[in-house]
Amino acid sequence: MPATLNPYLSFKDNARDAMTFYQSVLGGNLTISTFDELHAAQDPSEGQLVMHSQLETPSGFTLMGSDTPSRMEYQPGTNFSISLSGGPDTEEELRGYWDGLSDGAVISMPLEKAIWGATFGMLTDKFGIAWLVNIAGEPMPGAPQA
């Protein structure tokens, strides 16, 4: 599986509606996981918010998105990031991108094992662009299957 680069959109609390709309326009397969489904809700009132959604279109487009819990900043107009993702066979490549992007960056989540099994990290580069790096892997023992 080659490494991929695609937009990642952040919404305040309407990611499900937005991603369903994009699916109606672009077609394709949409998957949606909530914070509750992934056992990641820190505030019970936000359990039904979308933690991750992914639209794969027939034209080969990939669009990802999520809602923003109240503990995280949400500012319309800057509610996007760039996702670099791939499988275990791209780990060295993706770690190289992470290392390069980390130069002068603000790291909001270190590149480390996440509950869904991937190695995941988030940073804002020295130019103010938000990046997500996700290296697919096996879920941690006891973690829910997405």
Residues whose CB is less than 8 angstroms from the CB of residue 62 and which lie 6 or more positions away in sequence, other chains included: 4, 6, 54, 55, 56
N residues, the chain = 146
Name which of 64, 40, 46 is nearest 54 in CA terms.
Answer: 64
The pLDDT, as a whole number, for residue 126 is 86
The pLDDT, as a whole number, for residue 41 is 78
The pLDDT, as a whole number, for residue 4 is 87
The pLDDT, as a whole number, for residue 73 is 85
Question: What's this model's pTM, rounded to 2 decimal places?
Answer: 0.69
Name which of 31, 125, 11 is nearest 72 in CA terms.
Answer: 11
Domains and CATH numbers, the chain: 4-135 (3.10.180.10)
| Burial class for 118, CB neighbours closer than 10 Å (0-12, 13-18, 19+) | buried
Q: pLDDT tens track of the chain, all 146 residues?
A: 788 889 999 999 999 999 998 999 889 999 999 999 888 778 888 889 999 999 999 988 899 999 998 888 888 877 888 999 999 999 999 999 999 999 999 999 999 999 888 999 999 988 788 999 999 987 556 655 54
